[in-house]
Structure 1
């Protein structure tokens, strides 16, 4: 199976400043993440993914020093020239900041930047959602920045808990020319029957919008092994809700290395879709990422 990994990271902590890895620890859904406080570069990644035919990857911004959003782009550009990875990049930008216009324009003129990620402010629980709160997807300042994405040829990677996906649907309807990609399967952390039913309902609302796609990744649970038994139904439900053409498999490495090795996660993905037609499997592992992130494949065309 040829693979384009739709969500992965690199960092060099000796050379660059990533506050969440260099400063006081932040709250993290997998718990202790000290194991991530090491350099992770293409050689490490290729070793982790060596069992698979990795033909490309999508680098996602790493919460680099927020005062220097263009610095990460320059660093990734040098890495690409030296190592041949990543294929493309989703860069950092802060849509509600005064420099949004200049940053987005710069990203739009960079040949390998395909989109940006800005994590909107999120409530801790579904019952605490306040629509239009400062920093949220309904915040007028956020939307002013979001309106500039299509003008610069940029998509939007959205990382937010599932209880904010109705706001994402409203955003997608207001900006139908902007591709939105939900990160990490909408973060279905509550695995109770009630929690999963609510997560499915949120995904169905988002899937009504043709300009929303989703990455199946980030399915680890704190202090629990990554298994097909734990995650298989979530994977199949996501594909059923969004359809094969709008789903992509992704490793989230090295972050998801906290819960499983690369082989376990990707072999798990394969096991979950082994009964699907070969063309559907290839779409999930390769073709959809090539099309949505506009990656030039070895065949010489965007798939």
Structure 2
């Protein structure tokens, strides 16, 4: 019996967080000395949604990840592409493959691809044949909420014909799609899910509910309601840090509970988004927060949210 199986058995008996296995479905590794990540390496630094990110402009490798995880029992992880040099998307796969051979992590990967580029067939073919790759991420073109309209379409967006032609190829390669886009684009996401029902969509970072005003959260909740109607959409609860604040249950509990209320515990997964969320807080505190918010849920639901759903979605 593997360590994950043993922890799972113990947790089902005890319900104790001390026994809870975690499959982290959204984490990153970086080696900035060996590899080129434009957003981490280029100057001048552009502020990111959490503000200044100088603190994470450094290498972050498996040893760093497990030190950050502390007392939490991480048994499997999914590495999400780290905005590696876009001129060489397959280079990141080769590097991650070497990490996996040496450390046993990650257990799966969602790799970089550009669905509207001429190399899409070559790149997706390589990913589809590789045992580590489960999906791809290509952030579609998006706009600020004030600039968005119901009929929005732009090059590289989810309604762009060339982009959609690339997206259609994911089915034949049995690759899922990591969707990272603002929640006001979720009508477009729902259309995408309906038009390509055989392709699994995994929404990144809870739909980016950065506006915590009542009006902002109402819009976010309504957008979740729309996209959750599509059965081939799964939600990762992560990336909900607030700039300038430590991760805290009071601020994030409403976000987590709403997400689970809309999607259900069988269609959500908790994720660290580490080291990126390290701009704001420690990984131990983030997972402690998730565990505290999830405490009222059943043992089966907690196991699904922290482990089983990610293992199923990413075939780990």
TM-score (norm 2): 0.92
How far apart, in 1, do the equivalents of 2:126 and 2:205 lie? 27
1:71 is matched with 91
1:13 is matched with 32
How far apart, in 1, do the equivalents of 2:148 and 2:304 lie? 37
How far apart, in 2, do the equivalents of 1:270 and 1:224 lie? 19
Cα deviations by residue, 1:264-302 (Å, 9 ceiling, x for unpaired): 11011011110111011000000000000110xxxxxxx
How far apart, in 2, do the equivalents of 1:222 and 1:88 lie? 30
2:12 is matched with none
1:115 is matched with 135
Residue 70 of structure 2 aligns to a residue in which SS?
coil
Residue 48 of structure 2 aligns to a residue in which SS?
coil
CA contact (8 A) 2:183 2:220 kept: yes
1:230-241 equivalent positions in 2, closer than 5 A: 230-241=251-262
Q: Which of these residues, 126, 130, 145, is aligned with residue 106 of structure 1? A: 126
Structure 2: unaligned runs, 5 residues or longer:
1-19
Q: Which of these residues, 40, 46, 56, is aligned with residue 66 of structure 2? A: 46
Q: Which of these residues, 190, 193, 205, is aligned with residue 211 of structure 2? A: 190
How far apart, in 1, do the equivalents of 2:307 and 2:86 lie? 31
How far apart, in 1, do the equivalents of 2:145 and 2:220 lie? 12
Cα deviations by residue, 1:64-95 (Å, 9 ceiling, x for unpaired): 00010000000000000001111100000000
How far apart, in 2, do the equivalents of 1:27 and 1:128 lie? 22
CA contact (8 A) 1:48 1:261 kept: yes
2:144 is matched with 124
How far apart, in 2, do the equivalents of 1:127 and 1:239 lie? 29
The 4+ residue runs of structure 1 with deviation greater than 6 A are none
Q: Which is richer in helix?
A: 2
Cα deviations by residue, 1:190-242 (Å, 9 ceiling, x for unpaired): 00000000000000000000000010000001112210000001100000100
1:76-225 equivalent positions in 2, closer than 5 A: 76-129=96-149, 131-225=152-246
CA contact (8 A) 1:12 1:41 kept: yes
Query: How far 1:246 moved relative to its partner?
Result: 0.6
**CA-based RMSD:** 0.9
How far apart, in 2, do the equivalents of 1:117 and 1:187 lie? 16
Query: How far 1:127 moved relative to its partner?
Result: 4.2
How far apart, in 1, do the equivalents of 2:170 and 2:47 lie? 30
1:300 is matched with none
Number of aligned pairs? 295
Query: How far 1:27 moved relative to its partner?
Result: 3.7
CA contact (8 A) 2:47 2:53 kept: no
1:270 is matched with 291
Is residue 257 from structure 1 mapped to residue 295 from structure 2 by the alignment?
no
Residue 97 of structure 1 aligns to a residue in which SS?
coil
Cα deviations by residue, 1:236-264 (Å, 9 ceiling, x for unpaired): 00001001111000000000011111111
Query: How far 1:26 moved relative to its partner?
Result: 2.7
Structure 1: unaligned runs, 5 residues or longer:
296-303
1:301 is matched with none
Give the 3 Å change call, closer, same or farther, for CA 264–241 of structure 1 in structure 2.
Answer: same
